[in-house]
């Protein structure tokens, strides 16, 4: 039975409507309180089996999903396929067949290839939650970022948010971009052009070449992690220069015309894309993001689990 | 001597400016007559009469670029199944690219393909030899030996000739044998890791893009080297407006450059990748609507000389993967004619004689092959097709072993009904209604 | 309705001999407002503030798979420890008893009350579980084809009890 509000799967924010996104955020709000209880568990998903299928190592996201599943009383199985000797593609199609045979209710998948979550969703009847597919989308991260921003700013319509850093290789950036735009926010990106998609100008966002200009404009910065491999890939010359030119530092923020909300999906490279005193500063909501991550994932799992809305 | 009379078709032969309702008479393996209606024909030997009313009778189509996978991947395609698929698509001859396992880079390997093709007894198969030994891009293969065994050109297709120096040598050395050097134009460092056209769709889908410039840089490099050497460079599967403009620049200066385009680049755009459909993954990738428009126009004005399929069968499982992990290529032999009819003739971009020219006459001329004409006394390689029949593509009925087609379920117009090679019917019975299904 | 609620307030105080250790827990949504109003009457009568809580039982329902989730989960807000206290669950309509069962499951996750009681504005009969109300505002025998709705001015703009035919509910 497909969810009446979300359909069968959650694969990305590009395909969700503003109403669907608001509904997930509205559901996550009250769920946050469950994590404050002595018994941090409700029986909502009792009897459901959820497989966490992580082809890429990602401790944070996996743990966040696991907490969400356990707090809703689902039975969970973790499958880590990273480091398997079988090539990625073969593993995926075989895994799909095996999962189908095991009659599980939901799969949370993290995979290094863009489109992998959809690939799986098209081939199994179980519901699929995308926990990050290649450089495509990471919808629950996008949603938790939206929730964190909404907690601070209220309605996001007309709010100015800048995504900073390696947008080219970032699934977080894409999910944020679609989610923010759907809720009516103004979205900008800032980073070296070698780390922005060439077609960024056609994606309906502002582009800042200098971080100073982004800081002057934005009400919130979502600072992406800079993968250290990008240096070897020839995209940037050095981490030191990256920090010099694009790093979000105290000095730069001090010159901003307003207080700016600082977000980071983690894990951070302190001293590269973000300085420690910014990450730990008064306007950082990085830990709220972590808290909200569990609530958002509970909301997504809960909403996907059900059938028709609003019973008697 | 057996004879075949093709009665009452529209005979279209651009090599002799022929386009009229009439008859074609085949005697033995040669054409005895093509054009005006013949009266009653009597022959002492067997005479087969094929009613061609409503059909177009044309010199046999020639595909100068396909991958038949034998030797090495006979599970995916063989020379026999590829030749039969070609015949079913209206092709009387195809050129087989050398990126097999082992690579076709020597006389014996070329001879193997020639013999397998003879044994299959369907469409003709001409081997193309490798430019470099093992297609490794280091040192030249023995062009002379390979040509002696039947090779009609050289190419490292599957990958580009990355070294400009090697390409230069190949163009120079090929002059002795008067064969084209066919290059897969792809600047390897720009294209590395790419899975589709670079643009807004790749940005949205999170797939690494291959920019147009990866093709165009190599196209202009090859054109300039052809100018320097006087060699004949043939540019495979052109996909961008920029390439068209560069080729036009080269031709305007009398440089010996010829170029081909594939039916998929004339009909599909990068939007087909949406939903991560691996049957829309090929190299070069599907580009934009603007590129498609430029390529169609280039087919019309001759900047692009000919249409070739780049037929590339893959095993079902190999395409059943995440997009970035799936192999490039689609099958094309059995849909090429219909795609060109549907996307170029039906919208009025080209007329029938030009279609026949781009699929038969010019391919024969560019690669120095027999056929491509219905002139009296030439080899009787003939394609008869229904120009108006509408059908729905069902890859499960293909004679090719490959099923990887982006046209599955698409409605197309035009289909071969009979294919004659060397005076022998190798496909169709001449009057079978070729609607949906087969 | 005011008179009924006032009477219920009286009964609660008499039955549990005072307001000490008493906590009224309304079930989302209308039970929450009813609990607030009852607490108001108790304060008028006794001059003491009564502890209040709110309970959303959405995540404790046993019928998620058949009816699907409500799109939005309400807030559960139980400000004090429940241990050794008398908890009075307040709801608008008592019908099958499943909501109350879910509410008791949820309360058990928050602590161990000395006693749990149930106060409802309307008992319409039709129980599917061995549950009964301790304090009832009004009893109606409604056939199962009918739905009994309580209207309250905080949510619906007016107070009242209406009976409407069910349409396509699971
Ligand atoms: Zn190629
Ligand atoms: Zn090829």
Could you give phi then psi for residue C74, rounded to 5 degrees? -80, 180
Task: Provide the CATH number for the domain formed by C2-165 in this structure.
Answer: 3.40.50.2020
Per the CB < 8 A criterion, the answer to whether B328 and B283 are in contact is yes
Whether residue A89 lies within 8 A of chain B, CB to CB, comes out as yes
Is the confidence at residue B358, as pLDDT, over 80? yes
**Structural domain spans, chain B:** 3-57+380-434, 61-366
pLDDT of residue A309: 36
Where do we find the tokens 């005979």? B11
pLDDT of residue A87: 46
Q: Which of C59, C67, C166 sits opposite A42 (nearest CB)?
A: C59
Q: Which comes out higher in pLDDT, residue A47 or A66?
A: A66
- Return the structure tokens found at C141: 């025998």
Residues of A in contact with C55 (CB under 8 A): none
Residues of C in contact with A44 (CB under 8 A): 58-61, 64, 69
> Is A198's CB within 8 Å of B211's CB?
yes
Chains that touch B (3 or more CB pairs under 8 A): A
Q: Which comes out higher in pLDDT, residue A229 or B384?
A: B384
Is there a catalytic annotation at residue B301? Answer: no
Residues of C in contact with A39 (CB under 8 A): 109-110
pLDDT digits (tens, 9 = 90+) for B317-339: 889 999 999 999 999 999 999 99
Nearest CA in chain B to A11: B275
Is the confidence at residue B342, as pLDDT, over 80? yes
Q: How far apart are CA A149 and CA A168, in angstroms?
A: 23
Taking residues C119-125, report their average pLDDT.
Answer: 95
pLDDT of residue A81: 66
Q: What is the CATH number of the domain that holds A233?
A: 3.40.50.1370
Chains that touch C (3 or more CB pairs under 8 A): A
> Is A114's CB within 8 Å of B205's CB?
yes
Residues of A in contact with B194 (CB under 8 A): none
Whether residue A222 lies within 8 A of chain B, CB to CB, comes out as no
| Residue A254 CB partners (closer than 8 Å, separation 6+) | none
Q: How far apart are CA C13 and CA C18, in angstroms?
A: 5
For residue A1, is it within any domain?
Answer: no
Terminal-residue alpha carbon distance, chain C: 30
- Return the structure tokens found at B430: 């001449």
Give me the total of CB pairs closer than 8 Å, taking one residue from chain A and one from chain C. 87
Is the confidence at residue B435, as pLDDT, over 50? no
For residue A309, is it within any domain?
Answer: no
Same domain for A158 and A86 = no
Taking residues C103-122, report their average pLDDT.
Answer: 92
> Is A119's CB within 8 Å of B276's CB?
yes
| Number of domains chain A contains | 2
Is the confidence at residue A310, as pLDDT, over 90? no
Could you give phi then psi for residue A229, rounded to 5 degrees? -65, -20
Q: Which of B209, B276, B320 sits opposite A115 (nearest CB)?
A: B276
Q: What angle do CA C70, C75, C81 make, to 5 degrees?
A: 135
What is the C46 CA–ligand 1 centroid distance (Å)? 90
Pairing state between β B382-392 and B233-235: unpaired
List Cα–Cα distances, B145 to B104, B110, B139, B157, in angstroms: 12, 9, 15, 19
pLDDT digits (tens, 9 = 90+) for C3-36: 999 999 999 999 988 888 899 999 988 999 999 9
Query: C108, exposed or middle or buried, with CB in 10 Å at 0-12, 13-18, 19+?
Result: middle
Could you give phi then psi for residue B104, rounded to 5 degrees? -80, 85
pLDDT of residue A86: 43
- What region, left, alpha or beta, does residue A210 occupy, with left being phi > 0 and alpha being psi -120 to 50 degrees? beta
Is the confidence at residue B123, as pLDDT, over 70? yes
Q: How far apart are CA A297 and CA A312, in angstroms?
A: 26
What range does the domain containing A35 cover? 18-137+293-304
> Is A113's CB within 8 Å of B324's CB?
yes
Residues of C in contact with A30 (CB under 8 A): 56, 72-76
Q: Which of A89, A174, A203 sits opposite B200 (nearest CB)?
A: A203
For residue A197, is it within any domain?
Answer: yes
The answer to whether the predicted template modeling score (pTM) of the entire model surpasses 0.80 is yes
The H helix count followed by the E strand count for chain B is 13, 18
For residue A240, is it within any domain?
Answer: yes
Pairing state between β B3-13 and C160-165: unpaired
> Is A89's CB within 8 Å of B325's CB?
yes
Q: Is A263 helix (H, G, I), strand (E, B) or coil?
A: strand
Per the CB < 8 A criterion, the answer to whether B149 and B143 are in contact is no
pLDDT of residue A199: 94
Sheet holding B61-66, edge to edge: B61-66, B91-96, B124-127
Dihedral sign for Cα B62, B68, B70, B72, please: positive
What is the B407 CA–ligand 1 centroid distance (Å)? 20
Mean model confidence pLDDT for chain B: 96
List Cα–Cα distances, B308 to A97, B61, B311, in angstroms: 38, 10, 8
Per the CB < 8 A criterion, the answer to whether A273 and A192 are in contact is no
Per the CB < 8 A criterion, the answer to whether A300 and A140 are in contact is yes
Residues of A in contact with B276 (CB under 8 A): 114-115, 118-119
Q: Is C121 helix (H, G, I), strand (E, B) or coil?
A: strand
Q: How far apart are CA B224 and CA B41, in angstroms?
A: 55
pLDDT of residue A89: 53
Helices (DSSP H) in B268-367: which residue ranges? 289-301, 316-319, 336-340, 352-356, 362-366
Could you give phi then psi for residue C139, rounded to 5 degrees? -110, 135
Same domain for A159 and A108 = no
pLDDT of residue A83: 53
What is the B129 CA–ligand 1 centroid distance (Å)? 14
pLDDT of residue B427: 97
Per the CB < 8 A criterion, the answer to whether A312 and A54 are in contact is no
Where do we find the tokens 């297609």? B135
Give me the DSSP letters along B164-186.
HHHHHHHHHHHGGGT--EEE---
- Contacts of A116-121 with CB under 8 Å at 24 or more apart are A116/A55, A116/A92, A116/B322, A117/A9, A117/A11, A117/A12, A118/A9, A118/A11, A118/B275, A118/B276, A119/A92, A119/B276, A119/B321, A119/B322, A119/B323, A120/A53, A120/A92, A120/A95, A120/A96, A121/A8, A121/A9, A121/A11
Same domain for A261 and A166 = yes
| Residue C28 CB partners (closer than 8 Å, separation 6+) | C54, C55, C56, C57, C58, C74, C75, C76
Residues of chain A numbered 56-115 and touching chain C (CB < 8 Å): 72
Share of chain B above pLDDT 90, in %: 94
Same domain for A299 and A246 = no
Same domain for A272 and A148 = yes
Is the confidence at residue A40, as pLDDT, over 90? no
Where do we find the tokens 């120095």? B368
pLDDT digits (tens, 9 = 90+) for A267-295: 999 999 999 999 999 999 999 999 999 99
Dihedral sign for Cα B250, B251, B255, B256, please: positive
> Is A311's CB within 8 Å of C109's CB?
no
Question: Smallest CA–CA separation between A257 and chain B, in Å?
Answer: 32
For residue A8, is it within any domain?
Answer: no
Query: B154, exposed or middle or buried, with CB in 10 Å at 0-12, 13-18, 19+?
Result: buried
For residue A258, is it within any domain?
Answer: yes
pLDDT of residue A292: 97
| Residue C63 CB partners (closer than 8 Å, separation 6+) | A311, C98
Q: How far apart are CA B75 and CA B70, in angstroms?
A: 9
The residues of B whose Cβ lies within 8 A of any Cβ of A are 198-200, 202-209, 211, 275-276, 317, 320-326
Whether residue A147 lies within 8 A of chain C, CB to CB, comes out as no
Could you give phi then psi for residue B171, rounded to 5 degrees? -65, -40
Residues of A in contact with B322 (CB under 8 A): 88-89, 92, 111, 113-116, 119, 134
Same domain for A269 and A157 = yes
Is the confidence at residue B9, as pLDDT, over 90? yes
User: For B51, what's the count of Cα atoms within 13 Å in the CB-facing half-sphere?
Assistant: 5
Ranking A114-123, B33-42, C3-12 by mean pLDDT, the lowest is: B33-42
For residue A312, is it within any domain?
Answer: no
Q: Which of A14, A87, A92 sits opposite B204 (nearest CB)?
A: A14
Ranking A130-139, A224-233, A263-272, B238-247 by mean pLDDT, the lowest is: A224-233
Q: Do domains B3-57+380-434 and B61-366 have the same CATH topology?
A: no
Same domain for A268 and A187 = yes
Residues of chain A numbered 41-60 and touching chain C (CB < 8 Å): 41-45
pLDDT of residue C170: 38
Mean model confidence pLDDT for chain C: 88
Given the residues B183, B310, B381, B386, select the one marked as catalytic.
Answer: B310
What is the A232 CA–ligand 1 centroid distance (Å)? 29
pLDDT band at A180 (very low <50, low <70, confident <90, very high): very high
Q: How far apart are CA B133 and CA B142, in angstroms?
A: 8
Same domain for A283 and A150 = yes
Give me the total of CB pairs closer than 8 Å, taking one residue from chain A and one from chain B. 77
pLDDT of residue B431: 45
Nearest CA to B284 out of B246, B240, B325 is that of: B240
Residues of A in contact with B320 (CB under 8 A): 89, 93
Helices (DSSP H) in chain A: which residue ranges? 18-31, 59-71, 88-101, 116-123, 139-153, 171-182, 211-217, 229-232, 239-246, 250-254, 276-279, 286-305
Buried/exposed code over C16-32 (b: 16+ C-beta within 10 A; e: otherwise): beebeebbbbbbbebbb
Nearest CA to A137 out of A160, A163, A118, A158 is that of: A118
Q: Which ligand is nearest to the CA of B185?
A: 1
pLDDT band at C71 (very low <50, low <70, confident <90, very high): low
Same domain for A168 and A131 = no
Q: Are there at least 3 beta-carbon pairs closer than 8 Å between B and C?
A: no
Where do we find the tokens 């002595």? A38
Nearest CA to B322 out of B282, B272, B277 is that of: B277
Same domain for A258 and A269 = yes
Q: Which CATH superfamily is domain B3-57+380-434 in?
A: Urease, subunit C, domain 1 (2.30.40.10)
Per the CB < 8 A criterion, the answer to whether B90 and B416 are in contact is yes
Q: How far apart are CA A79 and CA A55, in angstroms?
A: 8
Task: Provide the CATH number for the domain formed by B61-366 in this structure.
Answer: 3.20.20.140
In this structure, the number of other CB atoms found within 10 A of the CB of residue B50 comes to 24
């Amino acid at each position: 039975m497909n969810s009446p509000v979300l359909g069968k799967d959650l694969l990305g924010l590009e395909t969700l409507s503003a109403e669907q996104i608001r509904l997930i955020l509205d559901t996550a709000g009250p769920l946050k309180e469950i994590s404050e209880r002595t018994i941090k568990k409700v029986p909502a998903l009792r009897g459901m089996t959820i497989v966490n299928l992580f082809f890429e190592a990602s401790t944070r996201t996996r743990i966040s999903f696991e907490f969400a599943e356990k707090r809703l009383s689902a039975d969970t199985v973790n499958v880590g396929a990273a480091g398997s000797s079988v090539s990625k593609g073969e593993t995926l199609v075989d895994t799909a067949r095996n999962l189908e045979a095991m009659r599980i209710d939901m799969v949370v998948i993290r995979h290094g290839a863009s489109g992998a979550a959809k690939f799986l969703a098209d081939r199994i009847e179980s519901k699929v939650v995308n926990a990050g597919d290649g450089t495509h989308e990471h919808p629950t991260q996008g949603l938790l970022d939206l929730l964190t921003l909404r907690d601070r700013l209220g309605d996001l319509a007309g709010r100015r948010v800048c995504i900073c850093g390696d947008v080219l290789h970032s699934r977080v950036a894409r999910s944020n971009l679609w989610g923010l735009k759907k809720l009516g926010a103004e979205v900008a990106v800032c980073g070296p052009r070698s780390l922005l998609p060439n077609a960024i100008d056609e994606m309906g966002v502002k582009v800042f070449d200098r971080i100073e200009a982004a800081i002057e404009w934005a009400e919130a910065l979502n600072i992406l992690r800079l993968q250290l491999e990008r240096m070897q890939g020839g995209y940037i010359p050095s981490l030191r220069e990256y920090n010099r030119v694009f790093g979000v530092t105290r000095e730069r923020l001090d010159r901003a015309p307003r207080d700016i909300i600082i977000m980071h999906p983690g894990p951070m490279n302190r001293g590269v894309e973000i300085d420690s005193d910014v990450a730990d500063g008064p306007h950082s909501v990085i830990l709220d993001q972590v808290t909200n991550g569990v609530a958002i994932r509970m909301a997504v799992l809960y909403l996907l689990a059900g059938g028709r809305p609003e019973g008697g | 001597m057996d004879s075949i009379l093709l009665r009452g078709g529209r005979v279209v032969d651009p090599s002799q400016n022929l386009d009229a309702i009439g008859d074609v008479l085949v005697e033995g393996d040669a054409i005895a007559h093509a054009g005006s209606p013949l009266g009653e024909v009597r022959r002492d030997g067997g005479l087969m009469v094929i009613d061609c009313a409503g059909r177009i009778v044309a010199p046999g189509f020639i595909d100068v670029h396909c991958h038949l996978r034998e030797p090495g991947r006979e599970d995916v395609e063989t020379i026999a199944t590829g030749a039969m698929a070609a015949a079913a698509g209206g092709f009387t001859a195809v050129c087989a690219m050398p990126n097999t396992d082992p690579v076709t880079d020597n006389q014996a390997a070329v001879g193997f393909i020639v013999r397998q093709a003879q044994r299959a007894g369907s469409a003709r198969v001409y081997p193309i030899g490798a430019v470099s030994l093992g297609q490794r891009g280091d040192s030249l293969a023995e062009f002379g030996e390979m040509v002696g065994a039947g090779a009609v050109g050289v190419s490292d297709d599957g990958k580009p000739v990355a070294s400009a120096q090697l390409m230069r040598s190949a163009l120079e050395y090929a002059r002795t044998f008067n064969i084209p050097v066919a290059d897969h134009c792809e600047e390897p460092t720009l294209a590395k890791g790419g899975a589709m056209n670079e643009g807004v769709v790749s940005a949205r889908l999170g797939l690494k893009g291959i920019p147009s410039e990866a093709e165009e840089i190599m196209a202009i490099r090859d054109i300039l080297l052809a100018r320097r050497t006087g060699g004949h460079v043939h540019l495979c599967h052109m996909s961008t407006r920029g390439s068209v403009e560069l080729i036009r620049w080269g031709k305007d200066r009398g440089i010996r450059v010829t170029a081909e385009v594939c039916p998929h680049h004339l009909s599909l755009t990068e939007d087909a990748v949406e939903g991560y459909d691996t049957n829309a993954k090929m190299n070069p990738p599907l580009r934009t609507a603007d590129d498609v428009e430029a390529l169609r126009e280039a087919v019309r004005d001759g900047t692009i000389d000919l249409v070739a399929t780049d037929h590339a069968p893959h095993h079902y499982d190999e395409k059943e993967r995440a997009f970035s992990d799936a192999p490039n290529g689609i099958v094309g032999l059995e849909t090429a004619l219909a795609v060109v009819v549907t996307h170029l003739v039906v919208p009025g971009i080209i007329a029938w004689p030009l279609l026949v020219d781009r699929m038969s006459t010019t391919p024969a001329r560019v690669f120095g092959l027999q056929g491509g004409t219905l002139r009296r006394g030439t080899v009787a390689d003939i394609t008869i097709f229904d120009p108006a029949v509408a059908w729905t593509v069902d890859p499960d009925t293909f004679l090719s072993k490959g099923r990887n087609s982006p046209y599955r379920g698409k409605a197309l117009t035009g289909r071969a009904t009979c294919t004659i090679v060397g005076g022998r019917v190798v496909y169709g019975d001449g009057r079978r209604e070729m609607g949906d299904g087969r | 309705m005011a008179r009924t609620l006032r009477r219920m307030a009286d009964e609660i105080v008499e039955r549990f001999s005072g307001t000490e250790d008493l906590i009224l827990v309304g079930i989302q949504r209308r039970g929450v407002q009813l609990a607030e109003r009852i607490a108001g009457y108790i304060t008028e009568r006794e001059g003491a503030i009564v502890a209040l809580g709110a309970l959303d039982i959405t995540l404790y329902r046993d019928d998620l798979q058949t009816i699907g989730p409500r799109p939005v989960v309400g807030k559960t807000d139980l400000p004090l420890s429940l241990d050794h206290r008398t908890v009075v669950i307040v709801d608008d309509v008592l019908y099958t008893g499943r909501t109350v069962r879910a509410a008791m499951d949820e309360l058990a996750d928050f602590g161990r009350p000395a006693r749990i009681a149930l106060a409802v504005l309307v008992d319409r009969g039709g129980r599917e579980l061995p549950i009964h109300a301790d304090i009832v505002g009004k009893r109606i025998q409604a056939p199962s084809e009918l739905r009994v709705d309580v209207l309250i001015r905080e949510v619906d703009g007016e107070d009242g009890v209406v009976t409407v035919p069910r349409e396509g509910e699971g």
